[in-house]
Amino acid sequence: MSAESFDLFVIGAGSAGVRAARMAARLGARVAVADPAPLGGTCVNLGCVPKKLYSFAAHYADAFEESRGYGWSTTEPVFDWATLKAHRAREISRLNGIYGQLLDGSGVTTLRSRATLSGPNEVEVDGRIHHAKHVLVATGGRPVVPVLPGHELAITSNEIFDLPEFPKRLVVIGGGYIASEFASIFSGLGSHVTQLYRGEQILRGFDDDIRNFVAAEMGKKGVVLRTVAQVTRIDRSAGALQVTLADGTLLPADTILYATGRRPNTEGLGLAELDVRLSPNGAVVVDEHYRSSVPTIHALGDVIDRVQLTPVATAEAMALVDRLFGQGKRSVNYELIPTAVFTDPNIGTVGLTEAAARERFGEVRIFRSEFRPLKHSLSGSSERTLLKLVVDAKSDRVVGLHMVGGDAGEIVQGFGVALTAGATKAQFDATIGIHPTAAEEFVTMREPVVA
């Protein structure tokens, strides 16, 4: 078939691919994007958005109970899994449509089929070869399940949102943020959740105080956490599933969720045939400008396995497009990335952990506050909040800010601006707090807990 030429051909219509396509088109480039899956990628369809919606749903059980302390009388609430699934699907479908409208409105050619590379400047879609000055691979990643006896009986985060039946007993295998979030979500929705992690504490890479604190709080909410737990096999017995641990423990379950890692989607794209350099796990190796070992082929987002967060991927997309079609002034600062984990309670964090700050700066000052939020003085809940500041002693600059508590992500986003601007502890101290809020504690902590 006849060829069509583009300035930029994007393979993958997730958050990063759509952002790159739209921004390039606005700068006058002729752009195409190809993806057979629903528009929006993992974040919209199987990640951030549906997960946050289910997190909202999971909080209502506590909210109904806590309302009694404020004078409300209600009948016993009943949760309907089918209703939640249907409403989620409707919202995701709406967002898929919005993504399509954004692409169409920007003048992007959208191809709803799988694309493969047939040359450094050639992309094949449905047997048709398209020429492109630049190709962007933004195909994201997928969850992986370790191979062990019975692994095919487990599900991943891709399937968890649409289970035919709500699991009364859920075993979550993994200790990262995805595993921890789903453990909290399904516990809140009413499932008996056991979370298994082979390490000594969940959420490796987060500040140790945060890890220990949130694990304890999740335990209060019903999540049974078993660390240093190694799964050896999964079986089906008498209509139920059973997990066997290395120590011989047998755990019955209705559903087993594996959330132990993700792998970049690079197989079958033609990258290896073009000698595009890949890392051992299949990620595209790129330079500081997201250019692969083949100069016309670029990659970003989860497929480069650098920082697997949607806002980071979209920032990378804007930096790349600015370099290819703009003024080349944009860049991505990986040093200060605000992050939220939607466990119950939430985590919000930006900057360095205490351990990382000590390694980098030597002398640091630590400020920490733990308290029962005002809301729970009447609710009857035993939930507590933790706030922590990490300060470089020499410069007085706040280099790490961490929180476990209600709306932690919403609170920490604003403080991310402050840390990006280089705010010092003295400037935090000079800021007037909003009373009564949990956030005000960040500007009222005066005495370091560790000199």
Structure tokens at 347: 């985590």
H/E stretch holding 18: helix 15-26
Reduce the DSSP state of residue 293 to 3 states and report it.
coil
Pairwise CA distance, residues 381 & 59, whole Å? 13
Pairwise CA distance, residues 18 & 446, whole Å? 45
Torsion angle, alpha carbons of 207, 420, 391, 199, to 10: 10
- Number of neighbouring beta carbons within 10 Å of residue 237: 9
Reduce the DSSP state of residue 291 to 3 states and report it.
strand
Reduce the DSSP state of residue 326 to 3 states and report it.
coil
DSSP 254: S
Angle at 356 between CA 354 and CA 362, to 5 degrees: 85
Helices (H), 269-407: 310-325, 354-361, 376-379
Q: 122-125 and 115-119 as β-strands: parallel, antiparallel, unpaired?
A: antiparallel
Structure tokens at 449: 């807990």
Angle at 177 between CA 174 and CA 181, to 5 degrees: 90
Catalytic residue among 131, 289, 298, 435: 435
Pairwise CA distance, residues 242 & 258, whole Å? 14
Pairwise CA distance, residues 15 & 288, whole Å? 20
Reply yes or no on whether 376 is catalytic: no
The residues near 74 (Cβ < 8 Å, ≥ 6 apart) are 64, 67, 68
416 to 20, 159, 204, 439: CA distances (angstroms)? 24, 33, 21, 13
Structure tokens at 451: 């000199």
Packing angle of the helix pair 177-189, 48-66 (nearest 10 deg) = 40
Amino acid at 51: K
H/E stretch holding 95: helix 81-105
Residues known to be catalytic: 435
